[in-house]
Amino acid sequence: MVDAEIKRDRIIIRYKGKKWDWMLEPRYWRNTFIWTACLLIFPILCYFISPILLNTLITANLYAAIAIPLGLMTVGTGRLNFGPNFFVGVGGYAAAILSIAYGWGPLKTLAPAILISLISALLFSPLVILARGLYYVLLTLLLPLVFLEVTFIYSDLFKGDVGLAGIKLLMDLGDVKINFLMIAYLSIFLVLLYLLVVNKILKSRYGLIMAAINDDEEVAHGIGVNINMVKILAFVFSAGMIGVVGWFYAHYFGTFAGITYLPLTFMVKILLVIFIGGRAQVFGCVVGGYFVAFLEMILIATLGNIQPVVFPIILLILLFALPEGLFGIYRKRRYREYLPTLHVRR
């Protein structure tokens, strides 16, 4: 017979010589399945309650999908990249231009978009070795802004002023509502994939080496870490992952304009995602993504035009009030954890 027993900190269930125990204290829960289930149920709920929320949901997932590789990049290079949206622009424009020029669908443009993001990242990867501290921050901050100027200068190719239109859609199932639901699930799948991959990397030996680089580059070099290779690999790999989000944006909306993704306002949102989620906490990025996307929706509904001004103010307040982020409140400090928190090198 089923035999349940309540101990001080756990419930033990015995059945035919098998034993399951369930920790009562929330911090010991293996929350992977619970969180995944929550993520997967959310779109269905939105579909029945208010389909407009699906758009916010997709936005939230895509913010998270940018922030997760950015966490990997930050740990791996030991520097905080302030221009992750550059790779969103690169991946998005690659997909958009190819789709318009050759009429390619999303499956065909995916590989070129990743490839071009990787190549552009490889082109700019010497920054990771040469620049450090504020110089790195400034240079990476300038990259998307310079790219934005380029889209205006070469207007016949990039259409910087009006944006590229006529990109093939991600999926077309006939019904608009079903379409949105499927795209929401696709974005959730992307987030879960990124979480899995980045978490695996950070828990592996390469994650440990990255943690060492993040702490002290010179010492890491001295104990036999090929720091330049690790830093460039981390930079290029996560840039490719961010490029996929650009591809997603292009095919999701059917239009792509650099002015939406390359300016500072977009970048501030990504920073907010990271700081709310907790520094270098990959799982926190999802929490941060949802927080920012829904906050944005509420602010647009209530405040209107001054909404872009409010975001940096919230960012500043959070930096002082919650240095560990919302996820940091949930996460108790555990000494066994060797993954570092981020710090910007001066």
Partner 1 sequence: MYEILKVRNITKSFGGLTAVNKLSFDISSGETVGLIGPNGAGKTTLVNLLCGSYYADSGEIEMDGKHITRMKPYQRCRMGLSRTYQIPRPFPELTALMSVVTSALCGKKRTNRGLDDAAAEATHYLEFVGLFSKRNILARDLTFFELRMLELARALATTPKLLFVDEVMAGLNPGEANRAVHLIARAKEEFGLTIFWIEHVMAVLMEAAERIIAIHFGEKLAEGTPEEIANDEKVIEAYLGSGWRKTDK
Binding site for partner 1 (CB under 8 A): 204-205, 208-209, 211-212, 214-216, 218-227, 335-336, 338, 340-341
Whose Cβ is closer to partner 1: residue 16's or residue 205's? 205
Query: Minimal distance in Å, beta carbon 230 to partner 1?
Result: 10
Token pair of 146, please?
């310079």
* Minimum gap (Å) between residue 227 Cβ and partner 1: 7
**In the complex, minimum distance from the CB of residue 214 to partner 1, in angstroms, rounded to a whole number:** 7
Q: Is the Cβ of residue 66 or residue 213 nearer to partner 1 in the bound state?
A: 213
CB of 78 to partner 1, least distance (A): 11
In whole angstroms, how close is the CB of 194 to partner 1 at the nearest point?
A: 22
Contact by Cβ (8 Å): 73, 342: no
**Rounded distance between C-alpha atoms, residue 43 and residue 63, angstroms:** 16
Give whichever of 64 and 212 is closer to partner 1, judged by the CB atom: 212
The amino acid occupying position 207 is G
C-beta separation of 5 from 12 below 8 A: yes
Whether residue 94 contacts residue 318, with contact meaning beta carbons closer than 8 Å, is answered with no
Minimum gap (Å) between residue 209 Cβ and partner 1: 6
| H helix or E strand, kind and range, residue 3 | strand 3-6
Q: Is 102 or 338 the residue whose CB approaches partner 1 more closely? A: 338
Q: Which is nearer to partner 1, 103 or 133 (CB)?
A: 133
What separation, in Å, do the N-terminal and C-terminal C-alpha atoms of the chain show?
A: 63
Which three-class secondary structure state does DSSP give residue 16? coil
Query: Which is closer to partner 1, CB of 94 or CB of 220?
Result: 220
Instruction: Show the DSSP H helices in the chain as ranges.
Output: 32-49, 53-77, 85-102, 106-124, 126-130, 134-153, 155-158, 176-203, 205-215, 217-222, 227-253, 258-261, 264-277, 282-302, 307-321, 325-330
Q: How far apart are CA 34 and CA 64, in angstroms?
A: 18
